Structure formats: C-alpha cells, structure tokens
Amino acid sequence: MTEVPIIAQKSPYMTEVEEGKSYFWCSCGKSKNQPFCDGAHKGTGMVPVKYTADATKTVAFCGCKQAGDGPLCDGTHKNL
C-alpha cells in the first residue's frame, strides 16, 4: 500500500548543488537528512527521485513533498 508523503516543512530547502552531481530527493518526507533520502521510505511504496544538477547553483528542493512533479519546489506549499 502506498502512503501519503509526510510534509517535512512548508517551505523549500534552498540547497547548493554541483554541476554534474546527482542527488536523491526524499519523496516520502520521513528522511532525517532532508531534503535528501536516507532510506526511511522502505516499506512505504515511495522511492527517492534522482536530480542531476545542470549547473553549480542554488536550487529549491520541495519541502512539503506535494510538488506536482518534484523534486523542485513549485509553490504548492503556499496552499497547505
């Protein structure tokens, strides 16, 4: 059975990413290493989402876990 993601926080995680590096965004909200996966999703039916940085920059990873096509924030948290 698939669970509903837990809202980790109602704002994005502003995170510096490095060009060419891959990151695994926590989609379940249970990770203690937000916004990244620590394996806490096991048994939830959810999986982390791979994000590969196209440039070295700051990105806004979704913190509410409700973004339409995560892992980046789309403003959905403003309606929660």
Ramachandran class of 20: left when φ > 0, alpha when ψ lies in -120 to 50, beta otherwise: left
CA-to-CA distance for 36 and 25, rounded, in angstroms?
4
pLDDT in tens, 8-41: 999 999 999 999 999 999 999 999 999 999 999 9
pLDDT of residue 68: 87
Q: Pairing between strand 49-52 and 57-61? A: unpaired
Query: What is the pTM for the complete model shown?
Result: 0.92
Confidence class for position 1, pLDDT limits 50, 70, 90: very low
pLDDT of residue 6: 93
**Two tokens, residue 32:** 């203690």
pLDDT in tens, 54-65: 999 999 999 999
Residue span of the structural domain in which 19 resides: 1-80
